[in-house]
Copies of this chain bind each other. A is one copy, B any other.
């Protein structure tokens, strides 16, 4: 599909028809329908684990990772809904990480997305197992609907060189003085950026994107991924508990290593906006196909939860 063919380009049509918010709402509602189809029903034996899996998965997540993978899939020529099972696997993996992060032995959080956390509702044992089950289920789905390189890449993005590694250093840095920028950067790139980038790359790979486009979307992912985490840290300070759906200010209370803690709010905000500007510049060569990515970048920095 030629880049300049506006008749066939979904983003130009999109811009004419609906706002980003509408687009995200639509995708999120399709993701929810697919999640519902892909998960065992909550009446299936053993009931507790299926209830717990669904409880956290349908607790009002923003579906950012699936949306990014779907956007990349569509931007690089993918059509139809064959991306959805893999996109849903990303949301299951994200939810798995949140359930375990919230455990008493980890961040010990009582609220998430405005609701009591999994271990508060189902107990610690079921919370651990619900996280495990979501992780296993997600990989099973990737095995069924995706491609081997996708399974491998998601594995890398989430393992100790990625998300888990970031979480380890995050926990071990808690309450420590003299956290360096290097350590902070390690936490942020591993905890959030790797997963965000992998989500975009997964959509692009499944659509069959060219190497040149893969390079662009990877650079874009790294920039918005880091910005996303910095904004998260800022929101923890400036928002109310009601707005962000979890205990506001808990990062400071726990002595978490965050951008605002190290550089202050103003500098952190500037850094996030700089990254977003970079991200938008990165997708410039995509022409019309890049417009949704620009809007998504703005959405990430302007969000309030």
Counting chain A residues whose Cβ lies within 8 A of the other chain, the interface size class is: 35 or more
Residues 93-126 of chain A: 1 if any B CB is under 8 Å from the residue's CB, otherwise 0? 0001000100101100000000000000001111
Question: Which of A69-77, A163-171, A236-244, A255-263 is the contact stretch?
Answer: A163-171
Decide yes or no: A106 and B125 within 8 Å by CB, A50-B160, A141-B155, A151-B142 being known contacts: yes
Structural contact, A46 and B160, CB atoms closer than 8 A: yes
Structural contact, A167 and B135, CB atoms closer than 8 A: no
Residues 275-289 of chain A: 1 if any B CB is under 8 Å from the residue's CB, otherwise 0? 000000000000000
Q: Please tell me which one of the listed residues B44, B46, B143, B164 contacts residue A49 in the complex, with CB atoms under 8 A apart.
A: B164
- Asked if A184 is at the interface of the complex by the 8 Å CB criterion, the answer is no
- Asked if A172 is at the interface of the complex by the 8 Å CB criterion, the answer is yes
> How many copies of this chain does one complex carry?
2
Q: Which residues of A are interface residues toward B (Cβ below 8 A)? A: 40, 44-46, 48-50, 53, 96, 100, 103, 105-106, 123-126, 128-129, 131-133, 135-137, 139-144, 146-156, 158-161, 164-165, 167-169, 171-172, 186
Structural contact, A132 and B50, CB atoms closer than 8 A: no
Structural contact, A148 and B143, CB atoms closer than 8 A: yes
Structural contact, B128 and A140, CB atoms closer than 8 A: no
Q: Please tell me which one of the listed residues B124, B129, B149, B156 contacts residue A164 in the complex, with CB atoms under 8 A apart.
A: B129
User: A164 — which chain B residues lie within 8 A by C-beta?
Assistant: 49, 129, 132-133, 136
Most buried by B among A53, A132, A141, A149: A132
Decide yes or no: A129 and B46 within 8 Å by CB, A137-B159, A148-B144, A148-B148 being known contacts: no
Given A46-B160, A136-B158; 12 other pairs, CB 8 A cutoff:
A40-B160, A48-B172, A49-B160, A50-B160, A53-B160, A126-B168, A132-B164, A136-B159, A139-B139, A139-B151, A140-B152, A143-B154
- The closest CB in chain B to the CB of A169 belongs to B46
